[in-house]
Structure 1
Amino acid sequence: MSVQNSTKSNALGHKANTGEIAFLYNISGERYSIWSLYRCVVGKLGIRRRKNFEEGAFNLKITILIFFLNIESSYIQASETTVDGYGDTVQWVIREDMMWRIRTFAVDEDVHVYQIDRRGKTRDALIEIASQNTLKHYRETITDELLINSETGVAGILEQLKAEGIDSRLNEDVSGLVFWSPDGSKYSTKSEPK
């Protein structure tokens, strides 16, 4: 697969012109590159060009639901310990036409991203699905949760994070994927989910 010749970084820290590609997985476990997903989105929308994505035309309504966990784990080393500060997270991001589930692993600053089909579901229904799914799998380790709705895109999310007193670092790429990580961190995809 050829990668667009661009110097824009995607949210997972990869530069497009290096040939490195970040991967995300849909709920069925199928693997997509951020860049092929981007081309797919552009192709389906038909009216948005790459320039518009880079200028932020994709930053419309966005909801981010962050579950903070009391564990610091490594998917690569298959290990976890409890932590008092920022540890692992489970995050859900809902855009106008896409949804993602993001699982971060604090030890390796590793991230797994899953694209979720949101067709036919309201934003409220998706938030409920995300909450129930996370509670089912992480109930014992959730220390806090934060739901942010923004009508002004990423800027609105950053404002609300700051108002909550939470590190206001968002990782964003041209596909519309956004996720939170602690200040000073450099999360990227380092392992593949099994």
Structure 2
Amino acid sequence: MTTRSTHRTPPRVLVLGATGKTGRRVVARLRELGVETRAASRSGEVRFDWTLPDTWEPALAGADALYLIAPDDVAAVAAVVLTEDAHAGRTYELSGPRALTFAEATGIIARAAGRPIRYEELTPQAYRAELLAQGWAEADADALGAMFALHRAGHSAEVTDGVRQVLGREAADLEPWARRIAATGVWA
């Protein structure tokens, strides 16, 4: 999350990934607060596509704050950080209350869903090949592969207190969220 202005009230916020699971929550919370919010995505109100640089500048025009792409805690933090001057220019590292591997997170979701779900880690080469087969540009596939290499090496495993710093409460755990989502039947 990045903020550029420290004095405009309320800011004009551009939310990237606004049609995604977290982005749409951020948009909803900001709009509930009365913040002028532009929802950007490949197919959203404002067209923004990382693979089409000519969409970047028009989407960013007039934005005072920008939300760069997780669920309720991240949306709540984003809404506060993007609208309160005390957070301007600050960076918050956000995490859940405990570090989880992808396999552990998959196990939590499988238990909540009441059915077997298996996590299968691809080799970096296989992952890159899948991205390229889906039409990703080589540079983008390499960048995403580099990000996941950092995850695999444990560089993103540290539990942080960013949610507590901004919201004054502990971060929500994945298990209650998974049970709540499973109860909707979406994973049945």
Q: TM above 0.5, one fold?
A: no
Report which of the two has the higher share of helix: 2
Structure 2-normalised TM-score? 0.24
Report which of the two has the higher share of strand: 1
Structure 1-normalised TM-score? 0.23
